[in-house]
Amino acid sequence: MTGDPSASGADATSARPLREALVDLSAISHNVAALRRATGTGHLMAVVKARGYGHGAVPSARAAVDGGADWLGVVEIAEALELRAAGITVPVLAWLHGPEARFEEAIAEGIDIGVGSLAQLEAVAHSAGTASVHLKVDTGLGRGGVAEGDTARVLERAAELERRGLLRIRGLFSHLANAGEDADAAQVAVFDQAAAIADAVGLRDLIRHLAATAGALRAPSTRFDLVRVGIGIYGLSPFEHATSADLGLRPALELSAAIVSVKRVAAGTGVSYGHTYRTTAETTLALVPLGYAEGVPRQASGAGPVSINGVTYRVAGRIAMDQFVVDVGDAPVAVGDRAVLFGDPATGVPSADDWAREAGTINYEIVTRLGGRIEHRYRS
C-alpha cells in the first residue's frame, strides 16, 4: 500500500505539514507530574526558555502547569512577557538580562527577576514599581551570579533596599556545574553559607533553589525548596547513561517530514554534496525536505537515523541546508510517506539521544535548535 500514493490516502498525508514537530502535550504534563513525585520538593519550576527547548513556550508552559508546575522559568524578560501575553498567570522567573533590560515592564507584569550582580540589583531597585527578586549567587559554576567573595556585601545591600521598600527579595538561587558528586557537595556548602548570610542580614522565607533536572533526579541534597526542571519536562534525559524510559519520562516531540521524491538509481550513484555516499546496488533514494536550516545537524551526515514505514535507515551522504537523502533499498517507499527523525523510542522510532550521539552533541541541542520551516502541531 505504501508503494501506491493514491491508495495510501492523499488526505491523510496532506492534513499534516510537510515538516512537522508534533508535540504531545500530555507527555509534558505526565513528565512534570513524574518529576514532582520523584523530587518531592514544595515547588517545581518548569523551564520553558528558548521556545520551550524547541517545543513551543506557551503550549509547553500550559501543559507543565496542568502537570503540577507552580513556577515557570525563562532566561529573558521578553520570554516571560510572551507567557503573560498568552494569559499565563503563574509565577515566572527570568534570570538573564542585558544592559537595556525592561525591568519596569517585568515588574508591571508581575514577573520575578533573577539578579546576579550589585549593578543589576541597583537597577532593579530604582525601576518603577516594587520588583520581586531572586538573588543569584555563583557557588562554583563560574558563570553568572554574585561571586562568593561579594555575596555578603550584596545580600546586605539587598536587605537594605528591601527595608526601604524598593524591592522584595523572594528567592536565593544558584546553578550546578554537574561536575560530579564532590563538586555538587561543594556547591551545596557554598549555597548553604549564602543562605545563612541572607538569614543573618534579615532576608527571611526565601525560596532557595539550586538544582536543574540532573540535580533534582540524582542529588537529593541539591533540591532545597524548588527545582528548576527543563530537559526532563520534555521527556529527555540529562544523563549520558540513562534513557528517558529509565527515568520514567516520555519524549514529547516527534520530528518528521513527508518524503518529497523517490527514484530508482543504478549502483555506483553518488549521493549529495561531495559524494560521501555511493550506492552499492540498484536502489531507491528517498528525499527528505529537512536540512540544517531546520536545525538537523550537518555533523550527523551519513549517520543520523531515520524511520520510514517502521524501518530505520541512516542518512545517505551529506545533510544539506534544505534536504537529505535516505537509501531505502528495495522497500516500497512512496512520496508522502513520513520520515521520522526522532520521537519516543517506545513507538519504535529513533530518539533525540541517537541524533545527539551521531552529531557529537547532547539531546538539549538537538531539540532546541529546531527551527527553519518546521511547523509545530500539538496533541493533547
The three-class DSSP label of residue 300 is helix
Instruction: Report the distance separating Cα 367 and Cα 254, nearest Å.
Output: 10
49 is catalytic: yes
Name which of 213 and 309 has its Cβ closer to ligand PLP: 213
CA-CA distance, 89 to 83, in Å (whole number)?
8
How buried is 75 (Cβ within 10 angstroms: 0-12 exposed, 13-18 middle, 19+ buried)? middle
Residue with CB nearest ligand PLP?
A: 230
Contact 335, 273 (CB under 8 A): no
- Position 39 contacts ligand PLP (CB under 6 A): no
Binding mask 139-178 for ligand PLP (x = CB under 6 A): ------------------------------------x---
60, 139, 213, 307: residue in contact with ligand PLP (rule CB under 6 A):
213
The span from the CA of 1 to the CA of 336, in Å, is: 12
Q: What is the DSSP letter of 137?
A: B
Nearer to ligand PLP, 47 or 69 (CB): 47
State the catalytic residue, choosing from 53, 136, 234, 273.
273
- Give yes or no for residue 47 binding ligand PLP (CB under 6 A): yes
The smaller minimum CB distance to ligand PLP, of residues 82 and 327, is found at: 82
CB of 73 to ligand PLP, least distance (A): 6
Query: How far is CA 268 from its chain centroid?
Result: 41
Stretch that binds ligand PLP, among 151-159, 229-237, 268-276, 367-375 (CB under 6 A): 229-237
Distance separating alpha carbons of residues 52 and 330, to the nearest angstrom: 39
Rule CB under 6 A: say whether 230 interacts with ligand PLP.
Answer: yes
Distance from C-alpha of 58 to C-alpha of 350, rounded to nearest angstrom: 26
Asked if 291 is part of the footprint of ligand PLP (rule: CB under 6 A), the reply reads no
131 bridge partner residues: 167
Question: Which of these segments, 10-18, 231-239, 265-273, 345-353, binds ligand PLP (CB under 6 A)?
Answer: 231-239
Q: Three cell numbers at 288?
A: 527528505
Gap between the Cα atoms of 380 and 367, Å rounded: 19
Closest approach, Cβ 365 to ligand PLP, in A, equals: 11
**Distance between start and end Cα atoms, the chain:** 29
Closer to ligand PLP by CB, 47 or 328: give it: 47
Taking CB under 6 A as the criterion, the residue among 62, 208, 228, 250 binding ligand PLP is 228
Contacts of 240 (CB under 8 A, 6+ apart): none
| Residue range at the interface with ligand PLP (CB under 6 A); choices 207-215, 252-260, 298-306, 332-340 | 207-215
63 to 102: interface string for ligand PLP, x by CB under 6 A:
--------------------------------x-------
φ, ψ dihedrals at 340, nearest 5°: -100, 120
Among 111, 155, 229, 359, binds ligand PLP (CB under 6 A): 229
Kind of pairing between the strands at 324-329 and 311-316: antiparallel
Q: How far is the CB of 99 from ligand PLP (least distance, A)?
A: 20
In terms of Cβ atoms closer than 10 Å to its own Cβ (0-12, 13-18, 19+), residue 205 is exposed
249 binds ligand PLP (CB under 6 A): no
Least distance in angstroms from the C-beta of 290 to ligand PLP? 24
User: What length is written for the chain?
Assistant: 380
Among 194, 212, 257, 288, binds ligand PLP (CB under 6 A): 212
Minimal distance, residue 144 CB to ligand PLP, in Å = 8
Task: Decide whether 36 or 175 has the Cβ nearer to ligand PLP.
Answer: 175
DSSP H helical ranges for 112-254: 118-125, 151-163, 181-200, 213-218
How far apart CA 4 and CA 231 sit, in angstroms, is 40
**Backbone dihedral angles phi then psi of residue 240, each to the nearest 5 degrees:** -65, -35
Question: With respect to ligand PLP, which residue has the nearer C-beta, 20 or 76?
Answer: 76
Is 53 catalytic? The answer is no
Interface contacts to ligand PLP, rule CB under 6 A: 47, 49, 95, 175, 212-214, 228-232, 238
Catalytic residues: 49, 273
